[in-house]
Amino acid sequence: MKILVMGGTQFFGRKAVERLIERGCEITLMSRGQTPLPWEDGVIEHLSVDRSRPADVTSALRGRTFDAVYDNIAMHAEHVRSVLDALGDTGQYLLMSSGSVYQGQHHVPTGEYLYADRDPKIPEADWTKMMKPLDETAVPLDADWLQREIAGEEGAYRKGKLEAERELVYARDVDNRGLHYTIFRPPQVEGPWDPTRRTEFFARRISDEGGILLPREGRGRVFQKVFRDDVASAVISALDNPRAHDTAYNVAQEEILSLERYFGVMSHCLDVSPPVLVDVPGPDLVDKLGPEYRPPLPGPKTVRLDRARRDLDYASSPYLEWMKETLDWILAGPLPNGYETLREREIRMIDQVGC
C-alpha cells in the first residue's frame, strides 16, 4: 500500500510508522524536517514542508495519489482541507483527533460525582446517566451537528479538532468525494518519546518523595490514559479495514484511574512510598508559584471502548506493564530547567499547608 503520513517522526506517530514499515507499506512522510528521521530505511520519500503553510502542502501533494493518508498532526480545518484539495484518488483518510472533543459534554465521571455537591435541580436519574462512560455518539459525525458545536466553542484546541473531523465528514457526505475516513479520539497519551513530557511533572515529584501540590478542584476526578503503542496499534488495525470506514473510535486504556491510584501505580513502579497529596485552592497556587504553575491533570472523563474492540480487535496494554518503561525513560533524562528551585518552593508550601 502507498501511504502518506503527515507528521510521524515523534511519539505515537513514530511508533505507527514503525508498524507501517513492518507491514511493508510504501511510505511518503511529510514533516517540517526539524526532527531527523529515526529510521535508516522504510520511508520511500520525505517531503520537508511546514504544515502551517497550507499552500506549500497543497503544492507538494498536488495530483498525487495514495491508498491511504495517516494524518497524525492536523490541528484545524485548513490542515485537512489543504491535503484533500491537493490529492487525487485516496482510499482512506485516518485522522488523529482527540478525546478533548468530548470536553463540555454532559458527563460526570464517578469520582467527581462522589466528591461533588450535586445540584438538587438535576434529578437523580440524570446524574446516573451522566456518570456513564461516553461512547462515540456523544460527538456524532454529522456535518450540521459539528458545525453548530464549532460555532459555540471558544477553546482553540477542541475547536480545531472538531473542525478537522468536520472536514472529513463534509468531504465524504456533502462533497461526495470517494474516500473513507477513520477518526481516533485518544485521551492523554503516555509512553517513551513523548515530546510534551507531561508525565514528568508527577514522576519527578513522586521519585523524590517530597509530596505533590494539587489544585483542590482537581481532586476526586477519574479518568483514562492510553499507551503510545496502543494508539499505533489501533491505527494499523483500521488501515484497509472496511469495518473502520466512516466512523470514529475511542482509544484508551481499560483501567479507570483516580489521581490516588495513578500516583500509586507510579510509586509502585519506582519502589517508593505513595506521595503525600496536599490540596490547595487553584488561586493560591497561582499566587504562590506563578500563573504558569499548572499541574497537567488529566481530563475528567471516561469512555467506552466497545466499538474499537469490535472493529479493530482492540485490547489495551495493562497499565503496570508500560508505566515502568515510561518512568525509566523520563528519569534517565536531564532535569527540566529551573526544576530544583521550583521544587524547593513547592516543598516549603507543602510543609506550610500540610501542618
- Domain borders along the chain are 89-354
Q: What is the mean pLDDT of the chain?
A: 90
74-88, 104-118, 164-178: the lowest-pLDDT one = 104-118
Question: Looking at residue 355, what is its pLDDT?
Answer: 54
Give start and end residues of each alpha helix (H) in the chain: 11-22, 54-61, 77-86, 110-115, 124-131, 143-151, 156-169, 198-207, 228-238, 259-270, 282-289, 306-312, 319-331, 339-354
Among the listed residues 150, 2, 160, the one whose alpha carbon sits nearest the alpha carbon of residue 68:
2
Most confident segment among 10-24, 34-48, 108-122, 210-224? 10-24
Question: Looking at residue 122, what is its pLDDT?
Answer: 65
Residue 305 scores a pLDDT above 80: yes
Rounded to whole angstroms, the Cα distance separating 108 from 298 reads 14
Question: Looking at residue 174, what is its pLDDT?
Answer: 79
Rounded mean pLDDT of 133-156?
A: 93
Rounded mean pLDDT of 267-295?
A: 91
Question: Looking at residue 5, what is its pLDDT?
Answer: 95
How many residues are given for the chain? Answer: 355
Q: Which residues pair with 307 in a beta bridge?
A: none
Residue 105 scores a pLDDT above 60: yes
Rounded to whole angstroms, the Cα distance separating 269 from 207 reads 10
Residue 223 scores a pLDDT above 70: yes
Query: pLDDT higher for 55 or 183?
Result: 183
37-51, 303-317, 333-347: the lowest-pLDDT one = 37-51
Describe the crossing of helices 54-61 and 77-86 by its angle, rounded to 10 degrees: 20
pTM for this structure? Answer: 0.92
Question: Looking at residue 253, what is its pLDDT?
Answer: 95
- The CATH code that applies to domain 89-354 is 3.40.50.720
Question: Looking at residue 218, what is its pLDDT?
Answer: 77
Question: Looking at residue 241, what is its pLDDT?
Answer: 97
Among the listed residues 267, 295, 256, 291, the one whose alpha carbon sits nearest the alpha carbon of residue 279:
295
Q: Which DSSP symbol is given to 174?
A: I
Rounded mean pLDDT of 119-147?
A: 81
Residue 51 scores a pLDDT above 80: yes
Rg of the chain over Cα atoms, rounded to whole angstroms, equals 21
Question: Looking at residue 92, what is its pLDDT?
Answer: 96
Question: Looking at residue 173, what is its pLDDT?
Answer: 83
